[in-house]
């Protein structure tokens, strides 16, 4: 008599989504307008057992921007404590200094705890991002 066990549940997270993914709607917005930002941590929580502690949302110049990269400090949009699989909120693009030639993104810094070699927890930070096109820039 042969028996077989059910296969263990397997799921492959896309490498880019291992910490979650973030979206912004609309992705093209003028200074002073509102955006809806949503982060989904399904993959991180369910399959990789990463539980975020803090969620810090920023507007940043992308690393691929060779003209303006490293010339503008990040603009913090929100600091939130992790409260569930989906984090969503509405915020306004602040009237800050932007450059018409810069390439912007929404960056989400995800702070989470892992156990070290002696079993003591420490915090690490992962970053995920999504494109943001800012229009109506007058400060260049």
**For position 86, what pLDDT does the model report?**
97
CATH topology of domain 17-135: Immunoglobulin-like (2.60.40)
**For position 11, what pLDDT does the model report?**
56
Residues across the chain: 140
Give the C-alpha separation, 133 to 90, whole Å.
Answer: 17
- Spatial neighbors of 77 by CB under 8 A, at least 6 apart, are 37, 57, 58, 59, 91, 94, 106
**For position 107, what pLDDT does the model report?**
97
Looking from the CA of 127 toward its CB, the CA atoms found within 13 Å total 10
The per-residue pLDDT string of the chain (140 residues; one tens digit each, 9 = 90 and over) reads 444 443 344 456 777 678 999 999 999 999 999 999 999 999 899 888 889 999 999 999 987 766 766 678 899 999 999 999 999 999 999 999 898 888 899 999 999 999 999 999 999 999 999 999 999 888 66
φ, ψ for residue 76, nearest 5 deg: -75, 130
Q: What do you get for the CA distance between the two ends of the chain, in Å?
A: 77
Angle of CA points 135, 138, 140, to nearest 5°: 100
């Amino acid at each position: 008599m042969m028996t077989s066990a059910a296969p263990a549940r397997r799921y492959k997270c896309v490498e880019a989504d291992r910490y979650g993914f973030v979206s912004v709607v609309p992705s093209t917005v003028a200074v002073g307008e509102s955006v809806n930002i949503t982060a989904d941590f399904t993959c991180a929580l369910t399959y990789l057992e990463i539980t975020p502690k803090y969620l810090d949302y920023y507007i940043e110049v992308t690393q691929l921007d060779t003209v303006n990269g490293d010339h503008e400090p990040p603009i913090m949009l929100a600091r939130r404590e992790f409260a569930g699989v989906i984090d969503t909120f509405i915020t306004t693009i602040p009237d800050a200094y932007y450059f018409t030639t810069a390439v912007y993104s929404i960056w989400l810094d995800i702070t989470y705890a892992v156990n070290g070699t002696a079993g003591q927890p420490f915090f690490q930070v992962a970053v995920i991002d999504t494109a943001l096109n800012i229009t109506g820039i007058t400060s260049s």
